[in-house]
């Protein structure tokens, strides 16, 4: 008897590459769509990210914001400058360690962040609209597993 081929003939790339490609593409499309929704609010994704981290961490230093976002703190200066000029957040010198700047949202910043989060939810709903409740749970769990 002739041996069967160990793998059936394939037209495209192997399954793992398909998954990686889909992940990169869908992730990129999601980031771009979110940026588009954010733009009319006067926010870019990085700015929204900073405000979100500030809200979640509750008065972090600039170094802590950088650590949370996975970027060097030097790359945050211009962004924080801009958000501060627009009155959405404030730097306050930490009295206990005068090298540190504690960053906090203003009232206007808190309202703006809420707008951004609403945009994020609208876009997220749009993104997963094709999935059933069961499929959503499955996707979330699978993504969490490889995150």
Partner DNA sequence: TATTGTTATACTCTATAACTATA
Partner DNA sequence: TATAGTTATAGAGTATAACAATA
Contacts with a second copy, residue ranges (CB under 8 A)? 13-20, 22-31, 34, 117, 120-121, 123-125, 127-128, 130-131, 135-140, 142-147
Would you count residue 71 as binding DNA (CB under 7 A)?
yes
Of the candidates 78, 36, 31, 83, the residue with the CA atom closest to the CA atom of residue 55: 83
Residue 44 contact among DNA, a second copy, none, beta carbon within 5 to 8 Å by kind: DNA
Which of 79, 89, 109, 113 lies at the binding interface for DNA (CB under 7 A)? 79
**DSSP letters for the chain:** -PPPPSS---SSS-HHHHHHHHHHHHHHHHHHHHHHHHGGGT--HHHHHHHHHHHHHTS-BHHHHHHHHTS-GGGTHHHHHHHHHTTSEEEEE-SSSTT-EEEEE-HHHHHHHHHHHHHHHHHHHHHTTTS-HHHHHHHHHHHHHH-
The answer to the question of residue 44 lying near DNA (CB under 7 A) is yes
Report what 18 binds from a second copy, DNA, none; CB cut-off 5-8 Å by kind. a second copy
Which residue stretch of 5-13, 56-64, 110-118, 127-135 sits at the interface with DNA (rule: CB under 7 A)?
56-64
- Minimum Å distance from CB 118 to a second copy? 10
Longest dimension (CA), the chain: 83
Our finding on whether 61 is near DNA (CB under 7 A) is yes
Q: Which stretch binds DNA (CB under 7 A): 60-68, 104-112, 118-126, 138-146?
A: 60-68
Backbone angles phi, psi at 65, to 5 degrees: -60, -45
Positions in the binding site for DNA (CB under 7 A)? 44-47, 61-63, 71-75, 77, 79-81, 91, 97-101
């Amino acid at each position: 008897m002739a041996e069967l081929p160990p793998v059936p003939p394939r037209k495209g790339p192997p399954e793992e590459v398909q998954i990686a490609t889909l992940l990169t593409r869908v992730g990129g499309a999601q980031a771009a769509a979110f940026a588009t929704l954010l733009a009319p609010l006067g926010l870019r994704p990085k700015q929204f990210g900073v405000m979100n981290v500030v809200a979640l961490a509750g008065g972090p230093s600039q170094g802590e914001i950088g650590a949370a976002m996975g970027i060097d703190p030097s790359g945050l200066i211009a962004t924080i400058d801009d958000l501060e000029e627009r009155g959405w957040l404030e730097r306050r010198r930490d009295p206990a360690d005068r090298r540190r700047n504690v960053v906090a949202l203003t009232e206007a910043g808190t309202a703006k962040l809420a707008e951004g989060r609403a945009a994020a939810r609208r876009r997220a709903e749009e993104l997963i609209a094709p999935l059933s409740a069961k499929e959503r749970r499955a996707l979330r769990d699978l993504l969490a597993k490889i995150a």
